[in-house]
Amino acid sequence: MNHQALVELDHQYTMQTYGRFDIDIDRGRGATLYDLAGKEYIDFTSGIGVCSVGYANPKWVEAVSAQAARLGHISNLFYSRPYAELARTLCRRSGLAAAFFANSGAEANEGMIKLARKYSFDKYGKGRGTVITLRNSFHGRTITTLAATGQDVFHNYFFPFTDGFRHADAGSLDSVQAAAGHDVCAVMLELIQGEGGVLPMDRDFVHALAELCAERDWLLLVDEVQTGVGRTGTLFAFQQYEVEPDVVSFAKGIAGGLPFGGILAGQRCRDVLTPGTHATTFGGNPVCAAAAQAVLEILDEEALTLVAEKGDYLRARIEGMGLDCLGATRGLGLMIGVEVRGGHTNRALAAKLMENGLLVLTAGQALRLLPPLTITKEEMDKGLAILEQTLRAV
């Protein structure tokens, strides 16, 4: 099948919910992808922060294949080793107490919201179900996580949305306090707003927010769906912000490309969700859990140190190019936003880069780079050369 035939097939039989780039991808290795025609692309996207250990990582392939050959699925009504072992690894490395596994970021966040509401219900009864979230945030595409998302563009068509979310300005404790009331049970935030444009939260704001949560007995819910699993140079971003969340959600990078997500709760919240109150058929699937275990083994402390160094390298090189169309960079580790300036749009620049063999993402007004965490220096340099050559000419 060639590109044109694939595009026609897709248009004929699939709901056109994605504004796709005019590129198909057929296979990959490391941080390098190939389309049906065999053209090579350097990948600064990892899907959208999903293929954390690159494509066809041998250790990941081995773990997935071995578990698929052993047991592909078992209902959560039974004990299974991959589930429990993965939970142990995540708890040990995060300092949190217990895990629940789901299948996606939105579903993980739904679990986190349910946990916060039940924590409050158990202690205070009804009427305390409101979660404060931040403007410009992104928490998912279900009706409830859309309501949680602090961007008006997402609050269309699908009425009625779920009640119980109030938005405050990111970075402003005054704004959070103005949104507060006796009906609040939690604050939920991303430490770096990903879809919103790669916007890191101010450390002092995060610390003040954590204090306010402790004072009012609100749970501090951190959405690490994008920032988690080594993306920022520590296993979770909260470890660099030096706060202790009550619950953390994760998904994207956790299983290196397979659909997986979940939440981790601290000691105080580990027993809030009791038998029958929360469940999911596929959550904790053994193949996905084995993949996640392999991902976490690959992303050991040494690999995480390298993530921080690679991020610094990419940012210094891009800023050093002094391109007219790009401004300052921001982010942590290999979660990088690059300001677009000079009247260019991020989408147009991204399309040009792709044409020339470098895949990048956009977010807000910025270019967003989320390369595989295992990307090599050679692959980074190849990508940077394409970036410089292409954008020097616009």
Ligand X SMILES: *Cc1c(COP(=O)(O)O)cnc(C)c1O
Q: For residue 195, state whether it binds ligand X (rule: CB under 6 A).
A: yes
Shortest distance (Å) from residue 105 CB to ligand X: 2
Shortest distance (Å) from residue 252 CB to ligand X: 6
| Cβ atoms < 10 Å from Cβ of 368 | 25
Enumerate residues 6+ apart whose C-beta is below 8 A from 377.
313
Q: For residue 140, state whether it binds ligand X (rule: CB under 6 A).
A: yes
Closest-by-Cβ residue to ligand X is 105
Q: In the window 33-72, what residues touch ligand X (CB under 6 A)?
A: none
Name the residue nearer to ligand X (CB basis): 104 or 285.
104
The residues pairing with 99 across neighbouring beta strands, listed in sequence order, are: 264
Please give the size of the binding site for ligand X, defined by CB under 6 A: 15
The half-sphere exposure of 328 on its side-chain side, counting CA atoms within 13 A, is 4
Which among 154-162, 223-231, 309-317, 338-346 is the span making contact with ligand X, rule CB under 6 A? Answer: 223-231
Shortest distance (Å) from residue 194 CB to ligand X: 4
Shortest distance (Å) from residue 150 CB to ligand X: 12
Query: Is residue 41 within 8 Å of residue 27, measured between CB atoms?
Result: no
Q: For residue 196, state whether it binds ligand X (rule: CB under 6 A).
A: no
Q: Of 52, 144, 226, 293, which lies in the binding site for ligand X, with binding defined by CB under 6 A? A: 226
Q: For residue 251, state whether it binds ligand X (rule: CB under 6 A).
A: yes
Tokens 């520590």, located at residue: 234
> Rounded to whole angstroms, how far apart are CA atoms 112 and 223?
9
Q: In the window 331-390, what residues touch ligand X (CB under 6 A)?
A: none
For residue 44, give both structure tokens.
């600064």
Query: At residue 56, what are phi and psi to the nearest 5 degrees?
Result: 55, 35
Q: For residue 104, state whether it binds ligand X (rule: CB under 6 A).
A: yes
Query: Is residue 233 within 8 Å of residue 300, measured between CB atoms?
Result: no
With 0-12 / 13-18 / 19 or more C-beta atoms within 10 angstroms meaning exposed / middle / buried, residue 115 is buried
Which among 138-146, 155-163, 273-281, 290-298 is the span making contact with ligand X, rule CB under 6 A? Answer: 138-146
Name the residue nearer to ligand X (CB basis): 115 or 391.
115
Name the residue nearer to ligand X (CB basis): 102 or 325.
102
Query: Is residue 231 within 8 Å of residue 45, measured between CB atoms?
Result: no
CA-based angle 73:76:78, to the nearest 5? 90
Query: Is residue 335 within 8 Å of residue 198, measured between CB atoms?
Result: yes
Name the residue nearer to ligand X (CB basis): 258 or 391.
258
Q: For residue 228, state whether it binds ligand X (rule: CB under 6 A).
A: no
Residues near ligand X, by CB under 6 A: 104-106, 109, 138-140, 190, 194-195, 223, 225-226, 251-252
